[in-house]
Chains A and B, each alone.
Chain A
Amino acid sequence: MSDTATALKQALTSIAGATGAALVDYTSGMALGTMGDSASFDLNVAAAGNTDVVRAKMRTMELLGLKGEIEDILITLTDQYHLIRLLKGRGGNGLFLYLVLDSSRANLAMARHQLRRIEEELEV
């Protein structure tokens, strides 16, 4: 059991290459918590913008009639990975964890695995 700030801090400290993390409500686009390097990267703006990514993918899946649920979405930049992990919360609100990784230092498989573990501990 952990609170939001602890979960985000854990994401930054335990995941190699992580430089920023946010917990985002994807209906309103609001970041309920952010942590990381805010000087070079505005996580609130990233949070709001990435809600459109999540919405677009969900809508596409509905149009295609796919019944599976999105676990995570990976966006690969030349020097960064952006990882979006949707939370299956009991609260009924759509939330996702957003993680920014430095691609030269990150281990993608490991990062996905650790993000899943943090989600389980968050218990939202």
Chain B
Amino acid sequence: MVRIPPPALPVRDRRAARALSPMLTRLAEERATGVLVREHGVLYLAEGRVVHAESPLAPDLGVLLTAHGTLAATAWQRAAAQAPDPAQAAEALLRSGVLPTGALELCHLDALYDAGYFALAPSGTPGRFRYGAGPRLGPLPSVPVVALERETLRRRLLLHRLWPDPAADSAPLIRADPAPGPAAALSVTPRQRAVLDRVDGVRTAADLARDLGRQAFHTLVDVRRLTAAGWIAPVPADPAPPPAPPPRPVTTDPDIALLKRLRDALEAL
């Protein structure tokens, strides 16, 4: 009997796979202004450049600025209360001169790349873009979309090299039992020690980052290194009961109706 190998599965164009979000690439090309909402974060675009990013998984600019005494917490609260968003609060601080320009710029870029990393994480739901005149190019540095995508990919690879299992990135963390021996303790840096001391079986890497006032990605680096060295582990998820099948959405969208007819026809073959 002659075995005929199955035909190769169709794969996406490699170049297309490299763009983290085809929608974002298109928005950059058309120099769009507005807000891109994705599953794990939000990107603010002005003329096709990223001016600000937010993610529930990353500490915001205020946390990064105030956690280590760069700025008094009251000064940030005052500025944030008077501005519609954190980016404009930062600009107000810049104008008032309470903060050195370099420090603010760097914190702003830290927060942007940090939240951008999560905003561009693979997601199960499509992104939505709202055109609008809100975001604008201000005195704080903006970042080209390609630069943010390149850096995000580099960060993913860096984490993958440290420890290839991403489970510890999002799950509650617990100290490993038994802990590695005293010889291994020498290789835990003071920064990692601060992370390790806060691991309690409840908090996730994002919680630890906020608690420490550090960038979430930096905390992921420490968490993956500590996981690789056997100090911590993600709490295994409970075997949850299988979720009830979601109710079938009623739709009148002609495309979906057509697709359903097509599916029914194919099944009837």
Which A residues have a C-beta under 8 Å from some C-beta of B?
1-4, 7, 23, 25, 27-30, 32, 48, 58-59, 62-63, 89-93, 95, 122-124
Contacts and interface: CB of A to CB of B under 8 A. Distances in A.
Contacts of A62: 186, 189-190
Interface string B131-175: 000000000010000000001001100100000000000000000
Nearest to B222: A27
Contacts of A123: 100, 102-103
A97 to B, nearest CB: 12
B106 A58 contact: no
Interface stretch (B34-42, B82-90, B199-207, B210-218): B210-218
A23 B221 CA distance: 20
A90 B101 contact: no
B70 interface: yes
Interface string B92-128: 0000000011110111011001000000000000000
B102 A7 contact: yes
B106 A1 contact: no
B103 A28 contact: no
A3 B102 CA distance: 4
Contacts of A23: 106
Contacts of A58: 189
B246 interface: no
A30 B155 CA distance: 9
A93 B105 contact: no
A32 B217 contact: no
A48 B154 contact: yes
B221 A27 contact: yes
Contact of B155 (A7, A28, A32): A28
Contact of B154 (A3, A29, A122): A29
A1 B218 contact: no
A63 B103 contact: no
Q: Which 10 A-B pairs have the closest CB atoms?
A: A92-B68, A123-B100, A3-B101, A27-B218, A122-B102, A1-B100, A124-B102, A90-B70, A3-B102, A124-B103
A32 to B, nearest CB: 5
Given A28-B218, A59-B189, A92-B68, A1 B158 contact: no
B235 interface: no
Contacts of A122: 102
A95 B70 CA distance: 15
Nearest to A63: B186
Interface string B185-209: 0110111000000000000000000
Contacts of B10: none
B109 to A, nearest CB: 5
Nearest to A27: B218
A103 to B, nearest CB: 29
B7 interface: no
B153 to A, nearest CB: 12
B67 interface: yes
B154 A4 contact: no
Nearest to B190: A62
Given A4-B106, A90-B68, A29 B158 contact: yes
A95 B221 CA distance: 16
Nearest to B103: A124
B69 interface: yes
Contacts of B154: 29-30, 48
